Amino acid sequence: MRLWGGRFEGETDEAMERLGASLAADWRLYGADIRGSMAYARALHKAGMLTATEHGTINEGLETILEEFEADAFAAVPGDEDIHTAVERRLHELIGEVAGKLHTGRSRNDQVATDTRMYLSERIASFRVAVRSVQRAIVAKAGAHLDVIMPGYTHGQPAQPVLFAHWVLSYFWMLQRDVERLDELAARVSVSPLGAGALAGNPFGVDRVELARELGFAQICQNSIDAVSDRDFIVEFLSWAALLGVHLSRLAADVVLWSSAEYGFVEIDEAYSTGSSIMPQKRNPDSMELVRGKAGRLIGNLVMVLTTLKGLPTSYNRDLQEDKPPLFDSVDTLLLILPVVAGVVGTMRVRSERMRAALGDGMLATDLADYLVRKGVPFRQSHGLVGEAVRRAEAAQVSLQELSLAEYQGVSDVFGEDLYEVLSFERSVCARDVVGGTAPEAVRDQLALARGILGSRNLTIKA
Amino acid sequence: MRLWGGRFEGETDEAMERLGASLAADWRLYGADIRGSMAYARALHKAGMLTATEHGTINEGLETILEEFEADAFAAVPGDEDIHTAVERRLHELIGEVAGKLHTGRSRNDQVATDTRMYLSERIASFRVAVRSVQRAIVAKAGAHLDVIMPGYTHGQPAQPVLFAHWVLSYFWMLQRDVERLDELAARVSVSPLGAGALAGNPFGVDRVELARELGFAQICQNSIDAVSDRDFIVEFLSWAALLGVHLSRLAADVVLWSSAEYGFVEIDEAYSTGSSIMPQKRNPDSMELVRGKAGRLIGNLVMVLTTLKGLPTSYNRDLQEDKPPLFDSVDTLLLILPVVAGVVGTMRVRSERMRAALGDGMLATDLADYLVRKGVPFRQSHGLVGEAVRRAEAAQVSLQELSLAEYQGVSDVFGEDLYEVLSFERSVCARDVVGGTAPEAVRDQLALARGILGSRNLTIKA
Amino acid sequence: MRLWGGRFEGETDEAMERLGASLAADWRLYGADIRGSMAYARALHKAGMLTATEHGTINEGLETILEEFEADAFAAVPGDEDIHTAVERRLHELIGEVAGKLHTGRSRNDQVATDTRMYLSERIASFRVAVRSVQRAIVAKAGAHLDVIMPGYTHGQPAQPVLFAHWVLSYFWMLQRDVERLDELAARVSVSPLGAGALAGNPFGVDRVELARELGFAQICQNSIDAVSDRDFIVEFLSWAALLGVHLSRLAADVVLWSSAEYGFVEIDEAYSTGSSIMPQKRNPDSMELVRGKAGRLIGNLVMVLTTLKGLPTSYNRDLQEDKPPLFDSVDTLLLILPVVAGVVGTMRVRSERMRAALGDGMLATDLADYLVRKGVPFRQSHGLVGEAVRRAEAAQVSLQELSLAEYQGVSDVFGEDLYEVLSFERSVCARDVVGGTAPEAVRDQLALARGILGSRNLTIKA
Amino acid sequence: MRLWGGRFEGETDEAMERLGASLAADWRLYGADIRGSMAYARALHKAGMLTATEHGTINEGLETILEEFEADAFAAVPGDEDIHTAVERRLHELIGEVAGKLHTGRSRNDQVATDTRMYLSERIASFRVAVRSVQRAIVAKAGAHLDVIMPGYTHGQPAQPVLFAHWVLSYFWMLQRDVERLDELAARVSVSPLGAGALAGNPFGVDRVELARELGFAQICQNSIDAVSDRDFIVEFLSWAALLGVHLSRLAADVVLWSSAEYGFVEIDEAYSTGSSIMPQKRNPDSMELVRGKAGRLIGNLVMVLTTLKGLPTSYNRDLQEDKPPLFDSVDTLLLILPVVAGVVGTMRVRSERMRAALGDGMLATDLADYLVRKGVPFRQSHGLVGEAVRRAEAAQVSLQELSLAEYQGVSDVFGEDLYEVLSFERSVCARDVVGGTAPEAVRDQLALARGILGSRNLTIKA
């Protein structure tokens, strides 16, 4: 069924039909589409464009169709271009000519925008839950390993000792920003275009505000031209997804690295590992590799929509049909990876002994420089002096702890016997006792703040 | 001057020096860098790490350097790797060894993040003003042409008549979403990393909250590892810039199209046009072509940073240095194009006679279908009937107005003499009198809302 | 069936299974996978690792499976992670334990790379045909309209008259470069990784060169580590697809524009147009809008793979599984749009009278300047003089033809009566008689060259 | 000096001037621009449009300007929009009115395309050399360490032992593909647009073929409309640069990882390392981190141009000015990083003892499975049996070598005493003796092939 064939004489080319068809992609919008139609039917009734009987008939027909979809019993037929056509075609089969009254004053242009926004609003709620689950897993992990010291890295090189809990909490805050952004963009998704018609507005006096309210929208679009071509909410969502994907890819990179034989700081649970078809000994962190790789996909989806929108002339153009595949793909991708990330973090074994073993006292060189600073040496100078000590230790193939006082004093006579006291990982960690620092007290505060954000101190995450 | 050479024996390779150097890119951060150092010096003093004299000396030195930069008198020397090194080197020249105390407990990792956030916060204020200027130009243009009817297009084809003011206001709302998003992201830029040190926090008890307050930050980062590697605020800004760029590219595409000989709906002022080096008659809309083209650049800058961050291991990695060229490029690009867009919109001549001439009564076919609907014909059926009428009119090479009643009644006997009354562009426009519709009353309301948002009804834009 | 479970004790998490599963995406590789296995079985036989009987059994089993796939009768079962697992599982069902000998020395790492390259090599042949079809449609269109003059545009503004055939042939050359590039990249796709094993090579002495030859590969990979992680051929293909997509998007933009009411230069056949669900008069160029929009998708797919590969550590990583969805999507997208583009070009009606009507003699200003040049006035000066004449004509609201000789001589006394002779569109076009120019002779040569490239002068394209 | 002001009355807006100005970006094109003009002047002379004297005067003027540029003595003045305007303005100052004859029949549209292609052709030669240098460093490194065995990884987990030389050579082949592609694209860069004029061709009969030959082009564009808007060569180059950047980013990721404290397989020379401003012990692989990060930039530059071109209408549009900043940025980026990569590879210390120490005999599990295969056990079954043995060894916390025969036979009685013989890293490596495999003989062949490609067996790379 073509909704638009009146003035056409010829047939549509078959390749063109394939190109234009979007039903497979649109299918998931059926719920939003039908509920949107129900609300619109009621609005037409209120506006005097449908009698009570007509309204009742249409509503019942739509309910039947919804049930068919829910029961997986809806049968598409050739010619069902998109979800709107399919539903209207079926409605016509069920209730006859009166079905043709449903689209009074409504265009697919405002309809599809409404459907997509309803769909995405629902998904946003799921994402909030899914991201929170990852945050909960992080907080639980941090809470269960508050005393574990590990090497902190910059440039991939040992830098300064930090708490494992401090490291894992660093991801809490990335995700926290994601949640904040999600809450903000949700408001811009929840805006109703319904009643914008093809581009100029609705001529039958439907009440757009009531329509919006009924469908759960928080606001309505203020300009009908903008309403039918605005895909900002999709771009904004895809930007969000891309950045979240980047965060998860960084966590994944860390976990892949730290579950390597050489680091061995964590062990990914077997439930999130796979083996090799050829190498019997392998235990691969596939879960986190896939998470890392998916970031590319999420970024690509964003580029797709931005590029498609770039330079597009005013109002609705069919190019906009290209918004949904990347949108749906990013939605699906995130719903695939978020539970896996939560599972990996929640179940991974922290091998504190390997972390401890990886601590070398070169990582305390800054503490040694700070020691000189406290004795009055300007930091830049003390940095140089300790650098010299490091060089001597390396040359002698000894640790900083093992370097003799004489050697230290050969570098600077400010060094005293008490220098050896600062060469302690615990002491180093405790020293960074500033808000957001790695000192146990500071991390405990940080954890409390994180728990407060999650809304509960009693988290029951399997760990 | 290398800030880090103590343990090194060899020289840095020259190609490596070129690769690593970022001073040229960083230069613009000098103000933020020096003000950040002043605040940090005070914090060190309060923490007891600088005497009042030392603090005074350092502060004076920094003031001198700031003056040098402002007077364009600061001379970089070979070895000035980045803005931080350059400033510290100069401070050392000016005040000697005590300069080395400034970096007590501070790393370039927290310093550069602080500088960049301060810089961007300032730019955000400029962007707000610049976007508002474009909105003001739009509102002024709409207000000055409230009675002009033009063809509304979908798929680039005449769809339904709309008010010119309605069209131009559609861009107001795109930009309004940009302003909203800008306000939201501003809060996430205004977060202080200072005191995070290299990655583990500050061991000298500096007061991070006071530091932040002094530098105008609204919040502080809660985790030092996150603090030094978080570039979300840059990604978020670049996403914002890309979407704004897409909006402007769409406006540009419309204006380029409408200033073509064939459309002729608007005329871009000579001040924003250029000629040809070879064709004497040309008057090209270069301004808007460049605006359209720049969207590619803004999108590319976003991809750069997302891709660089993807899969990056924990904490600070030198890859992060790659954040600034795309950031600065998007900042500069927007500051180049926004005033031009405001100027073009503000000065473009609206050729209402050309718009009027482009109205064909095919655009009233929907009104004709609606006419049948009001007589009880289901919309889908009336759509088909009018389609048939359109086909007859085309075959007879007449307009809908010119098609005889007999012909109409040959299509359907519901058509009556009164059908010709609905074939009016004014009537069509007036009919869409729903919130956000193109009816003059609705557009007037929309304009009032827009003016309310801009905070003033009396705009004095040259138009 | 897990191919790798020996050392595992636990179960795989269900969310992880969903994330890891690629069978749905891989399905289309079945032919390549099975043919690859057949060739590998023979190689194992030759290397003495399979008896003739074993080889026969395996081969028959594989043939049966291939038939099942071809007959759409292959049934996947839960646990079929990917196409390789599914085939091996089924083979085991069919022939028992001996199935387990097929994977001697082969890893999924070299297997999937082999499959993907075989698959893409086949598609490349289809693309060559499909692009050639578009070129043929272009050449036919050009050949059928050799005498039509239309406005040539730069900056979207009338520039100089050109032949319609010249315009349409400009797209021939873009596509010609695409064909050249396709031929070049085909050679780099046709390289066999088979025998690279997991990453280190095959220990059973299979003959990689013969294997490659049997599977139709032109070369073999020279390094087994590179072999299993090289996805350059995919990136190269996606780059190709993106640029082809950009070419098609430009053609689409032109055709959409020129089928607008205001230009009206071409009419897209009804077979490639659609109507509106609400506006009965609409005839929308949806085909070309979709083509234009798909460019975003093709660019996004390229970004996905580049980003996923960026910074990936050595050898095979599971992230590489993310190569196939974008590859397959670009393959499918191009196979959807290329026939439509060929159809649109082949069937579109050229409205030469509208093109003629759009020619304004301002477009001849360069000819007027050239006229002065031939009389000895330096071009830069003559450009200025004609600019002045244009200005006078505009002020007087007359055409250049209508501007009086007196007016011209008021600008410069070099102007003579003969100036009016150069004000001819035909003459202007004929003057550009340089290789690649728009003069009819030059365009005829160009067309002959294009036909020569296509290999035949007798094209039977419906037009 | 505006080249186009004749018909304009007003002034250009200042913001517009800033937006339109491209001189700073174009500057580097001066050589190509002037040489192009010299060739064009000669062509005009041959076509009878310049007298010998005029030609001589113009040529001398251009030579002077070229010298000024070379001596860094060329002074831009306000109003120099771009490099073409600047040169023409200066020429006018030097030789007066006759300068205005140079642009007879030439437009900035064909001129800038010519300049850019000439510029890029020259750079391509440099890239070839620079990539070859990296390949030479790789070959030298491989040749100097032919006997070093290291762990081969898949999924970041120990997989099978490989030769270090085999690993490093894997990058040779990636770069080899880059060189092949570079040679191919070079042919498409070397195509002359000169003589295409604004878009319609040259009306003064200049000999395009001779012009092209004189400027070193291999071919000429066959369609003048295509000639002025074709930026495929830039897209193709940027695609090339992006993929090369990805290759280098992968090498960088490996080197960063392997120079970590935990791996310690290689040591980056001090000349390519930097220290920390705060941590005296640090030695950071900044060089390779920057190389890794730059991939994002190269990808972003590609996206910029693809996106800018997408949907652009026919012929020249000013949007095309946006091609040069990303082009130049990718050129500069590659010329910055390629020498550094060559240097890092050439000078890095291979710590074979650390590699050896990292070999665990779990990596020989495949060899053990192959051992069972040779005894007749189907591979899939033997994979399972060895998996079980691995599990027992892990449970007993012993290596495969240490697991008792009784234990092995508890898994399968096919295991015999000789199983321990296969548990040798040397033997494992030697077994993969297939073309492209890691066996020493195969790697030696591979190295010979690589040297053959580089054209010389006697490489004198500092290592």
Per-residue pLDDT of C140-155, as tens digits, reads 999 999 999 999 999 9
Q: Look at residue C233 and tell me whether its pLDDT is greater than 60.
A: yes
Could B317 and D287 be called an inter-chain contact, meaning their C-beta atoms sit closer than 8 Å? no
The dihedral over CA atoms of B170, B173, B175, B176, expressed in degrees to the nearest 10, equals: 170
Distance, CA of C10 to CA of A179 (rounded, Å): 33
> Measured between CB atoms, which of C156, C279, C286 is closest to B256?
C156
Pick among C50, C224, C366, C371 to test the D interface (most D CBs inside 10 A): C224
Task: Give me the residues of D, 341-380, that contact A with CB < 8 A.
Answer: 358, 360, 362-363, 365-366, 368-369
Containing C153, the helix (H) or strand (E) segment is strand C149-154
Given the residues B55, B107, B133, B155, select the one marked as catalytic. Answer: B155
Report the C-alpha dihedral over residues B220, B222, B225, B229, rounded to 10 degrees.
-50
- Nearest C-alpha of chain D: how many angstroms from A260? 6
Q: In this complex, do B290 and D10 lie within 8 Å of one another by their Cβ atoms? A: no
Q: For C106-136, what is each residue's pLDDT tens digit? A: 999 999 999 999 999 999 999 999 999 999 9
Do B405 and B417 meet the contact criterion of CB atoms below 8 Å apart? yes
What percentage of residues in chain D have a pLDDT greater than 70? Answer: 98
Residues of chain B with Cβ-Cβ distance to A3 below 8 Å are 380, 383
Q: Residue C257 belongs to what H/E stretch?
A: helix C232-258
3-state DSSP helix/strand/coil % of chain C, to nearest 5: 65, 5, 30
D18 shares contact with chain A (CB less than 8 Å):
no
What residues of A are in contact with residue C103 (Cβ under 8 Å)? 277-278
In contact, D83 and D27? CB cutoff 8 Å: yes
The span from the CA of A446 to the CA of A284, in Å, is 33
- Residue C453 sits at the vertex; the CA angle it makes with C449 and C459, to the nearest 5 degrees, is 90
Residue indicated by tokens 């409408």: B258
Q: For residue C463, is pLDDT > 50?
A: no
d(CA A248, CA A226): 34
Nearest to A310 among D281, D310, D358 (CB): D310
Q: Which is the catalytic residue, given C126, C260, C276, C456?
A: C276
Per-residue pLDDT band at A3 (split at 50, 70, 90): confident
Subunit contact C272:A16, Cβ cutoff 8 A = yes
The DSSP H or E segment spanning D163 is strand D157-163
pLDDT of C460 above 90? no
* Residues 296-335 (B) with a CB less than 8 A from some CB of C: 303, 306-307, 310-312
Q: Which residue of B has its CA nearest to A88?
A: B380
Exposure letters D426-445 (e unless 16+ CB within 10 A, then b): eebbbbbbbbbbbbbebbee
CB atoms within 10 A of CB D62: 25
Per-residue pLDDT of D195-250, as tens digits, reads 999 999 999 999 999 999 999 999 999 999 999 999 999 999 999 999 999 999 99
Note the pLDDT of residue B5: 73
Q: What is the pLDDT of residues C86-109, one digit of tens each?
A: 999 999 999 999 999 999 999 999
Contact D304 B307 (CB under 8 A): no
Q: Please determine, for residue A61, whether its predicted confidence score (pLDDT) is greater than 80.
A: yes
**Residue A266: in which H helix or E strand, if any?**
strand A266-267
Would you call B261 and C366 a contact, using CB atoms and an 8 Å cutoff? no
Q: Answer yes or no: do D308 and B289 touch at CB < 8 A.
A: no
Query: Touching check for D270 and chain B: CB below 8 Å?
Result: yes
pLDDT of A245-285, one tens digit each?
A: 999 999 999 999 999 999 999 999 999 999 998 899 999 99
pLDDT value of position B84:
95
Residue pair B207/B46 in contact (Cβ under 8 Å)? The answer is yes
Using pLDDT thresholds of 50, 70 and 90, give the confidence band for residue A1.
low
List A residues 68-127 in contact with C (Cβ-Cβ < 8 A). Answer: 84, 103, 105-109
The single residue listed with the structure tokens 């302690």 is A424
Per-residue burial over A242-272, b if 16 or more Cβ lie within 10 Å, else e, is bbbbbbbbbbbbbbbbbbbbbbbbbbbbbbb
CB-based contact, B290 to chain D, within 8 Å: yes
Q: How close is the nearest chain A Cα to the Cα of C266, in Å?
A: 18
CB contact under 8 A, B160 and C279: yes
Say if D271 is an interface residue toward chain B (CB within 8 Å): yes
pLDDT digits (tens, 9 = 90+) for C264-322: 999 999 999 999 988 999 999 999 999 999 999 999 999 999 999 999 999 999 999 99
Q: Which residues of C touch D256 (CB under 8 A)?
A: none
Q: Whole-number mean pLDDT of chain C?
A: 95
Contact C143, C447 (CB under 8 A): yes
- Using CA atoms, how far apart are residues B123 and D368, in angstroms rounded to an integer? 64
Under 8 Å between Cβ of B50 and B101: yes
Provide the mean pLDDT of chain D.
95
Give the C-alpha separation, D204 to B121, whole Å.
Answer: 57
B241 in Cβ contact with B297 (< 8 Å): no
Distance between CA atoms of residues A140 and B375, nearest Å: 67
pLDDT for the residue numbered B461: 36
- Over residues D111-119, the mean pLDDT reads 98
Q: What does the block give as tokens for D331?
A: 């050129």
- For residues D432-450, average pLDDT: 98
Q: Rounded distance, CA B424 to CA B371, Å?
A: 12
Measured in angstroms, the CA of A282 and the nearest CA of chain B are apart by: 23
Is it the case that residue B394 has pLDDT exceeding 50?
yes
- pLDDT confidence band for A456 (50 / 70 / 90): low
* DSSP summary character for residue C312: P
pLDDT at B4: 78
Looking at residue D11, its pLDDT comes to 87
Q: What is the DSSP letter of A158?
A: E
Indicate if the pLDDT at residue A457 is higher than 60.
Answer: no
Averaged pLDDT for residues D415-424: 97
The predicted structure's pLDDT at residue D1: 62
Q: How confident is the model at residue B286 (pLDDT cuts 50, 70, 90)?
A: very high
Q: What does the pLDDT look like over D375-404, one tens digit per residue?
A: 999 999 999 999 999 999 999 999 999 999
Q: For residue D385, what are the contacts with CB-CB under 8 A and spacing of at least 6?
A: C6, D369, D372, D377, D411, D412, D414
Examine the pLDDT at A207 and tell me if it is beyond 70: yes
With tokens 């491209």, the residue in question is D22
DSSP one-letter string for D216-231 = T-SEE-S-HHHHHH--
Interchain contact, C300 vs A303, CB within 8 Å: yes
Contact between B295 and A236 (Cβ < 8 Å): no
Q: List the beta bridge partners of residue A153.
A: A158
- Contact in structure between C347 and C271 (CB atoms under 8 Å): yes
Q: Please report the pLDDT score of residue D461 as a whole number.
A: 36
Place of tokens 């085999």: D166
List b or e across D29-43, with b for residues whose CB sees 16 or more CB atoms inside 10 angstroms: bbebbbbbbbbbbbb
Residues in chain B within 8 Å Cβ distance of C363: 281
**What is residue D463's predicted lDDT score, i.e. its pLDDT?**
34
| Each residue's pLDDT tens digit, B407-457 | 999 999 999 999 999 999 999 999 999 999 999 999 999 999 999 999 854
For residue D456, the model assigns a pLDDT of: 54
C155 is catalytic: yes
Please list the helix, strand and coil fractions of chain B in percent, rounded to the nearest 5, in that order. Answer: 65, 5, 30
Q: CB-based contact (8 Å) between A257 and chain D?
A: yes
Type of residue at B424 = S
Pairing of strands D191-192, B157-163: unpaired
Cβ contact A329:A305 at 8 Å: no
Say if CB A86 and CB A80 are below 8 A apart. yes
Q: Work out the average pLDDT over A221-234.
A: 98
User: Contacts of residue D296 in chain C, CB cutoff 8 Å?
Assistant: 310
Q: How confident is the model at residue A458 (pLDDT cuts 50, 70, 90)?
A: very low
Confidence category of residue B114, pLDDT binned at 50, 70, 90: very high
Contacts of B409 (CB under 8 A, 6+ apart): B415
Chain C: residue whose CA lies nearest to D5:
C384
- Is the Cβ pair B307, C312 closer than 8 Å? no
The predicted-structure confidence for B313-328, as pLDDT tens digits, reads as follows 999 999 999 999 999 9
CA D49 to centroid of chain Cα atoms: 43
For residues A2 and A81, the answer to whether their CB atoms sit within 8 Å is yes
Cα–Cα distance between A462 and B137 in angstroms, integer? Answer: 58
The two tokens of residue B93 are 């020249």
Predicted local confidence at residue B1, as pLDDT: 63
Mean pLDDT, all residues of chain A: 95
Residue C110 contacts residue C196 (beta carbons within 8 Å): yes
CA-to-CA distance for B256 and B344, rounded, in angstroms?
11
B287 touches chain C (CB under 8 A): no
Q: Count the neighbouring beta carbons within 10 Å of the beta carbon of residue A234.
A: 25
* Contact of B266 with B350, CB cutoff 8 Å: yes
> Model confidence over C186-195: pLDDT tens digits?
999 999 999 9
Distance (Å) of CA C316 to CA A344, A449, B308, D157, D371? 21, 41, 21, 10, 24
What is the rounded distance in angstroms from the CA atom of residue A403 to the CA atom of residue A50? 92
Average pLDDT over residues A289-313: 98
Q: What is the pLDDT of residue C458?
A: 40
> Containing H/E element for B159?
strand B157-163
Nearest to C340 by CA among C145, C137, C122, C166: C137
Q: Does C203 touch chain D (CB under 8 A)?
A: yes
> How high is the pLDDT of residue C462?
35
Largest CA-CA distance found in chain C, in angstroms, rounded = 101
* pLDDT at D4 (0 to 100): 77
Distance CA A44, CA A30 (A): 21
Q: Quick check: D458 pLDDT over 60? A: no
| CA distances to A398, D144, D258, D352 from D349, in Å | 21, 11, 11, 9
Contact (Cβ atoms closer than 8 angstroms) between residue B338 and residue B285: no
Residues of B with Cβ-Cβ distance to D196 under 8 angstroms? none
Phi, psi of C105, rounded to the nearest 5 degrees: 80, 0
Q: pLDDT at position B463, please?
A: 34
Return phi, psi of residue C348, to 5°.
Answer: -70, 145
